[in-house]
A and B are shown apart, each in its own frame.
Chain A
Amino acid sequence: MTLNKLTEIKNSILANKKFKKIKNDDREIRLILKNVDVIDPYSIEEYIANDGYLAAYKALTEMNRESIIEEIKKSGLRGRSGGAFPTGIKWSFSLSVEADEKYIICNADEGIPGDFIDRILLEKDPHAIVEGLIIGAIANDANKGYFYIRKEYLAAHKTIEKAIFAARKLGFLGKNIFDQGYDFDIEIRIGAGSYVCGEETALMESIEGKRGTSRAKPPFPAVRGLFGKPTCVNNVKTLASVTKIILNGAESFNKYGTENSKGTNIFSISGKVKKPGFYELPLGISIRELIFGICQGPLAGKTITSVLVGGPAGGFVSEDKWNSPLDYDLFHINRTMLGAGGIVVIDETICIVDMCLMFLEFGLEESCGKCSPCRYGTKKQIAILKSIIEGKGKPEDLEELKNLSEHILSSSLCGLGMSTSFPLLSALMNYEELFIEHLNHKCRANVCKCGENND
């Protein structure tokens, strides 16, 4: 496959079709979402007509491992899974590791309820992710890649399978890709309904055909990962961003965003706002602008009481912090992680205390059970919180909940246990009065049965 061939496909499509620009809001900057709702996801030709596979071609012909990694470092891209680890630095670990086989994995397990951007990209621009995985493979010297897609995303299984098939047919995957003497191919693995399998070491166990329990780190996956070989795991959005950065250069990306959080981010907003949906915006936009500007504020006659950022691994952000920028430094102000960009807005009809219980139950159900702080600690938290919700709580319970949370947070084996307490801690920090009201048998939202005569 030469450049001429790509140009030929491009021209033949463009001769018959004009692609329009689509945005869900005028303020959007569509770098990563450029093709979404614009091209037919099943047509590799339409993807190529929009400069598709040019970045992978460029990576193989004009660049080398070092210069790809350098460009990604320069872009300031940080992992979009929520971990926010700088992608260029992660990739550079592989430079010093020797092995006969290396792997790269696209983490498409998108387990956080309320996050759905990975699904949008997988379904609507699958080739951008396949291309990102090819570039990642070249940079990490991997000859084999995996897509780990969650079971729930039925449509995405098909789009990715078709995309891999089409790319293989044109010689972008398989032996001697792009006729440049490099071998790389991809297999798909489907999850089976386990949140913790989104955690990279549990994910690798799962691909190996085992229970998805987390491994202790170190050794880090970059040294010993899938099947004991050096492995790089990246999120769907990260890989889609990589494609655009290599195609258009680091500056096209890092001219957006803030000092520590470069680029655009795709936010998914759901819950009690007039215009929920997904929007690509520069990192650093304020919560207020996003919720009241772009999403047009609360439903008629209602008041927004809190904004949940980062799902079960994030926290409740109270009104006094809605002017703070949404970026990876958000944690320092609010102990809330931006996460993967999922935001759930709530109003006075929702009880934050009951919602905390829902998150703890989620954490317990999804715990892999390997370490006891996560397995037993969460159980204990649930028991205490339940008694508060049922109107049987004692004032000292709140302190006990805080202590327990801090303990679980600091002693769990993996990120699941470390993060399960975040929503509760943030609620205790920002909305303690609600818990106290429950101790006094009152639930503002009228959700909990904590009245005095409930037995």
Chain B
Amino acid sequence: MENLKQKNFDLFTAYLEKYKKQKDALGLLLHKSMDLFSHIPQEIQLIISKELDVSMAHISGVISFYSYFSFEKWGKNVIDLCTGTSCYVCDSKNVVKKVKEYLKIDFEETTKDDNFTLLSAKCLGNCVSGVSMRINDDLHENVTKDNVIEILRKYEVKPYDS
């Protein structure tokens, strides 16, 4: 049994209460699990399976389909780095390269210290000021290969290259 925080677990079950046997609520519940636990733990999948009366296979199929649902626990800070068309034109390729090298991870991966998870966003709707990068709820614009590390540092406990 995974060690989920009791408070968050209670919040989840309270939320689930509204949607019992409502199969189409699966997406809502998966979003809730991501918000509370930064992933969709097996234990939560089992509860959802039972309460919505959907199979575990169906649930994993849905989780694996969407990029904002994850089986693996995400880091403390989630980076949405835009690789959309306008940001591509603003040199997102080199920003991506820089970030991957610095954090030593690829897209959809989490740093060893669980501090960052790197996701590739396909447009944040902020195309006029690309490259756009969102970390948690903060939108950073005009990100370049030269200023991106400085931005990441603000979210670090201790610098990665020291």
Contacts and interface: CB of A to CB of B under 8 A. Distances in A.
Interface stretch (B7-15, B84-92, B151-159): B84-92
A344 B86 contact: yes
B66 A209 contact: no
Contacts of A189: 27-28
Interface in A192-239: 192-195, 206-212, 227
A211 B61 contact: yes
A268 interface: yes
Given A110-B125, A211-B62, A344 B89 contact: yes
Contact of A152 (B54, B61, B87, B123): B123
A194 B67 contact: yes
Contacts of A111: 122-123
Given A111-B123, A114-B123, A270-B127, A194 B89 contact: no
Contact of B66 (A118, A194, A308, A346): A194
B127 A207 contact: no
A139 B87 CA distance: 40
A191 B34 CA distance: 13
A226 to B, nearest CB: 9
A262 interface: no
Nearest to B87: A113
Given A152-B80, A312-B85, A270 B125 contact: no
A227 B89 CA distance: 41
Contacts of A270: 86, 89, 127-128, 130
Interface stretch (B18-26, B110-118, B142-150): B18-26
Given A115-B125, A272-B89, 15 more contacts: A110-B123, A113-B87, A114-B85, A115-B127, A118-B125, A152-B80, A192-B67, A193-B66, A207-B24, A207-B27, A209-B26, A210-B26, A346-B89, A350-B89, A359-B85
Interface of A: 110-116, 118-119, 151-154, 189-195, 206-212, 227, 268, 270-272, 276-277, 308, 311-312, 342, 344, 346, 350, 355, 358-359, 362, 366, 368
